[in-house]
Structure 1
Amino acid sequence: MKSAVGSVKSNSLSFVLSEFKEITKAKLAVSVVFSSIAGYFLGATKLDIVSIALLAFGGYCMVGASNAYNQIIEKDLDAIMKRTKNRPLPSGRMSVRTALTIAILMTLLGVVTLYILNPKTAMFGAISIFLYTSVYTPLKTKTPLSVFVGAIPGAIPFMLGWVAATNDFGIEPGTLFMVQFFWQFPHFWALGWMLDEDYRKGGFKMLPTGKKDAGTALQIILYTIWMIVISIMPVFGFTGRLHLSIPAAVVVLMAGLVMLVFAFRLYEKRDNGAARRLMLASVTYISLIQIVYVLDKFIS
């Protein structure tokens, strides 16, 4: 009997954790935290475990809150799309009240935690939530320019880590912001290309031309080129304390050129397979260059 009760409790806890991970989009949140910690390593003159823990916890809370608000707002649209219809809210496994409680608590915890680091970090975290939920989310069904707006909060994490470490915003975190800002266009347009049919069901306008055509593919190529240019800028000494050695810059450049090849292949083939390969290449690229930036700092 005791083992049966224990099994029920275990299953209940597992279910709650599973739903929490879905409403906060745990994989996405963890990748954002990774970007923030990479930015912290780049900005810090000495590493502080407590600060890193606060940044990780606060960062997860802010991203998790944004994702929860997003799913609350888009609950009815999510129910229409195959990709999202089994999320906690449209499936009915979680109530809007519960999701809103989670979102509000995580917002408060996130802002307070980041404020302990410094007020600037909390401010940028709060701006990220506001733009994502109050501007980007409503615009997704109105105009393809929503991707441009969404790229702003999406680019904050890499920058946020530097601000958390230094309590300062200048050319260095600005450069980190621009790297991740330009990266998001090929990444999300490749994703939008793959999921275009499903997005259309929900009324989302994610592709720049509204179609899976040469115009969209060309814009992906152009933004990928800008991403590469920004990513290697620190090697030229224009970016303050943010440096990149020549060998590291070569690695970053080669990674960018690989991604550019996938972008050209999408222009050539214009199919979902090419879009998927570009999307996966973009995920590899952003993680790789963040690791290269950090390793280069400590090795150099």
Structure 2
Amino acid sequence: MNSTAITETRTSMHTLLSDLKQLTKVGLSFSVVFSSVAGYLLAVDIINYTTLFLLAVGGFFMVGASNTFNQIIEKDTDAIMQRTKNRPLPTGRMSVNFALTIAILLTVLGLSILYSINPKTALFGAISIFIYTSVYTPLKSVTPLTVFVGAIPGAIPFMLGWVAATNEFGIEAGFLFMIQFFWQFPHFWSIGWLQFEEYKKAGFNMLPMNTKDKGAVKQIIFYTAIMILVSISPVLKVSGRFYIYPISAVIVAIFGFIMLYYGIKLHKSEDNTDARKLMLASVLYITMVQVVYVVDKFLH
């Protein structure tokens, strides 16, 4: 094999790996794994590293499958939008059949791994993939309510960790679900604000009432406020075995108020710069809340 052939093989392997990373949205998949692991750590007294590993891998495959199915369905609309037109499917670097094989393989592997933890974990994993691909994705071009539907699979990872650890879906898992559920709205609507013109080109309805105005931001502020209240409510010991110290509630509230601050700024300015700051604040918030909860738990 001459050096040119070796170089070409390396290049094509590199391209394939890069395309697979884009197809499965590796960054997003890791953030989901982070949430699942946090949920698991909140539920256990003694960490079972095998379960933790299986949860991380199964969760990663589950999200990778959802993202791959999503890109297969949205191949044509992805080609229209600046942000997505260089993805492997719209550019033709990867065939739909190959992507479909990857999606099915990730689904089967992901759900089998989650099932090996316990059946309930696999069930919620399956619900997540189904809603994301069969309900949320098609609804994007139909109604702004798609964000509500998308918030369901988006909120499953945090509680998935609890279910993996306990094999039960009780009030604790319900609270973890609600925290991540209400967080989705300010997070996705700030992205919807930034990408409004692009989404419009593709025919997607990603803002409330599909309008980029103060009314949309009022909803962002409203859901941010609910999110803060739900996130600090475990301090009142209303969420079963899952509760936090007052100092943790204060820290969580501070991160929430940072989001609220940018929400109010966006209401005044209606400027993309503030929407971007809100989006970044929302990523900081969900990360820090999970870290604070886990640290708090191990200080009990």
RMSD value, Cα: 1.0
Q: Deviations over 1:184-238 (max 9, x none)?
A: 0000000000000000000000100211111100000000000000000110010
- The 1-side partners of 2:221 and 2:71 are apart by 31
Report the counterpart of residue 96 of structure 1 in structure 2.
Answer: 96
SS of the aligned residue for 1:79 comes to: helix
- Aligned residue pairs total 300
Q: Any unmatched runs of 5+ in structure 2?
A: none
Report the counterpart of residue 109 of structure 1 in structure 2.
Answer: 109
CA apart distance, 1:11: 2.6
Report the counterpart of residue 82 of structure 2 in structure 1.
Answer: 82
Report the counterpart of residue 179 of structure 1 in structure 2.
Answer: 179
Q: Deviations over 1:30-68 (max 9, x none)?
A: 101100000010011211111111011100111000000
Q: Deviations over 1:10-45 (max 9, x none)?
A: 333222211110000110111011000000100112
- TM-score for both structures, normalised by structure 2: 0.98
SS of the aligned residue for 2:210 comes to: coil
- 2:50 is the counterpart of 1:53: no
Report the counterpart of residue 241 of structure 1 in structure 2.
Answer: 241
- The 2-side partners of 1:264 and 1:117 are apart by 43
Opposite residue 191 of structure 1, the aligned amino acid is: I
CA apart distance, 1:265: 0.5
Report the counterpart of residue 39 of structure 2 in structure 1.
Answer: 39
CA apart distance, 1:151: 0.2
Report the counterpart of residue 250 of structure 1 in structure 2.
Answer: 250
- The 2-side partners of 1:7 and 1:91 are apart by 22
Opposite residue 70 of structure 1, the aligned amino acid is: N
- TM-score for both structures, normalised by structure 1: 0.98
Opposite residue 290 of structure 1, the aligned amino acid is: Q
Opposite residue 60 of structure 1, the aligned amino acid is: F
- The 1-side partners of 2:287 and 2:27 are apart by 14
Report the counterpart of residue 63 of structure 1 in structure 2.
Answer: 63
- 2:24 is the counterpart of 1:19: no
CA apart distance, 1:6: 4.3
Opposite residue 273 of structure 1, the aligned amino acid is: T
Indicate the percent of aligned positions where both proteins have the same amino acid.
Answer: 60
For residues 139-218 of structure 1, what are the structure 2 equivalents within 5 Å?
139-218=139-218
- The 2-side partners of 1:95 and 1:169 are apart by 39
Opposite residue 213 of structure 1, the aligned amino acid is: D
Report the counterpart of residue 277 of structure 2 in structure 1.
Answer: 277
CA apart distance, 1:3: 5.3
- 2:226 is the counterpart of 1:226: yes
- The 1-side partners of 2:87 and 2:10 are apart by 22
- The 2-side partners of 1:86 and 1:9 are apart by 21
